[in-house]
Amino acid sequence: MAKKILIIDDDPVITKYLATLFEDNGYEAITARDGAEGFDLVKKQKPDLITLDLQLPDEWGPRFYRKLSKSEFKDTPIIVVSGMAGQHAVRKAVAYVSKPFDPDKLLGIVRKTIGE
């Protein structure tokens, strides 16, 4: 069974690109446009990893992270993928990848974190 990655980003171009990148490399990708939808999907889909943008329309990425860290899903690894500075905002993120990003670098982080 393919490992599942939840992509939380409000930019449809980014979410489609990341979903295609992950799926082309053997992962299952699910997407959310905002933190509320993302948290619902975490509960329903139980992803192996989450990519999280910091700037979301309804709820900032750090707020989503705090909510997640107080839930049963607190050990789900997170990679911040954002154009906004603020690595400190999600202290326990596995990695912080700035937009625009190198897809090979991001895939390397994913593979190191959850395998193939």
What CATH code is carried by the domain that includes residue 95?
3.40.50.2300
> d(Cα 19, Cα 28) in Å, to the nearest integer?
8
Q: Find out whether 45 and 2 touch, Cβ atoms under 8 Å.
A: no
Q: Please tell me the pTM assigned to this model.
A: 0.94
Hey, which residues does 98 pair with through a beta bridge? 82
pLDDT surpasses 70 at 47: yes
pLDDT at 62: 82
Residue that wins the pLDDT comparison between 57 and 32:
32
**Short-list 80, 77, 115, CA closest to 97:** 80
CA angle 75, 47, 19 (to 5 degrees): 130
**What domain count does the chain have?**
1
Host domain of residue 53: 4-114
Q: Find out whether 101 and 93 touch, Cβ atoms under 8 Å.
A: no
